[in-house]
A and B are shown apart, each in its own frame.
Chain A
């Protein structure tokens, strides 16, 4: 296969569009799930909250304005074909420029501070984005992008479980994390779970899981069943929409896994609000 040249400007334009789109247009999977939840809820409060969320998401799409004021920290999962050569700039700079332009020209909130502890000065363009890059064979670049709000991000957790905990230990940790989050992460939530790998791989998989559509399942049936079981148990907790009580605390549970060490079983739980925003494109 020959080397394929991609202009940096093309990458910038694609990234810009992804972040604007995902902040204005909620995914069809989330919208259908919200509409189903509205049908099954009995309590007037839960119904009212869900109706308002649905109305909100329709307004955002129709007017092309952000559906949530927290337009998030920009996170990208990139599959970078090894036959791609970026011209007229670097890949990293092209992506950061796309984020900058989306947040500036798209009226998205700039929510990033330069230093986490001491200065906490806003970078004023929402960069730097968090970029997870995987080199794959081929001559294309696939980008999955999302704005991750921190109301839910703050409710996330990771634990280095050991093999003796087994599947029951995994379930316990996930349910404990969701219970501790309670009404805070803007329920109904999407729960992304990463199991296996190392400390950082588990966390990365958990984030990746929140970027997967909620009308899909893990291809391994054992994990697919676990996703369903956890969703049911979470919805029995009763936090409900906006944490004001109801049957719909979560819209989906997505699990991603990785091989791990003989001594370990890391489990990361990344919680996402109902504004689970992600979009993807292939260049």
Chain B
């Protein structure tokens, strides 16, 4: 049975999640992938304020396809997370609570997850049309010039994912 989680995610929720658990997320999440992460990271390095407040948020690594008329969003499955590894620890240290993506993470990211009591969820890669059914609304928050890579806010209902790395560092990809 999947655990239902109401966002924003609480520290108690995170503590209760174990690697391998199936969850359904309801509430809002933010999105960002390669180009947006690079920009955010450069601002953090310069000590400047970010155009989006990441504290308490879950970030979904996605670059959606365009929405067909009548659809809230286009197909929107996860992209490979490891490409964001270089930038993730800094975002977690700022208070971001977790990530949603697919695939393995670096030891530095796992350490940052444990240090900050955060969580990493995996969505099913290549299930974009299905996943988009759980995304009800989108709004662009910043970096609109990046097109599909812009930072968005998604309103999700029962967004399906699996706990890939829990706050103790247990990792479903270890085999």
Contacts and interface: CB of A to CB of B under 8 A. Distances in A.
A164 to B, nearest CB: 33
B72 to A, nearest CB: 12
A120 B63 contact: no
A63 B102 contact: no
A32 interface: no
Band of interface residues on A: 35 or more
B145 to A, nearest CB: 9
Contacts of A184: 80, 82, 102-104
A53 B124 contact: yes
B96 interface: no
Contacts of A71: 65
Contacts of B130: 52, 55-56, 59
B172 A244 contact: yes
Interface in B125-161: 125-133, 146-148, 160
Contacts of A275: 126
Given A110-B147, A184-B82, A67 B102 contact: no
B67 interface: yes
Contacts of B104: 182-184, 243
Interface string A71-84: 10000000000000
B76 interface: yes
Contacts of A68: 75, 77, 126, 128-129
B162 interface: yes
B162 to A, nearest CB: 7
A21 to B, nearest CB: 15
B100 to A, nearest CB: 13
A67 B80 contact: no
Nearest to B162: A244
B103 A109 contact: no
Contacts of B124: 49, 52-53, 56, 242
B134 to A, nearest CB: 12
B9 interface: no
A238 B63 contact: no
A239 interface: yes
Contacts of B66: 107-109
A186 B129 CA distance: 15
A154 B104 CA distance: 14
Closest 9 CB pairs of A and B: A186-B125, A184-B103, A56-B130, A109-B65, A56-B127, A69-B128, A60-B129, A69-B65, A69-B75
10 contacts: A52-B160, A56-B130, A56-B131, A68-B129, A69-B62, A69-B148, A122-B147, A124-B147, A186-B125, A244-B162
Given A151-B102, A239-B175, 10 more contacts: A45-B162, A59-B130, A60-B129, A65-B75, A66-B75, A68-B126, A69-B76, A69-B77, A70-B63, A107-B67
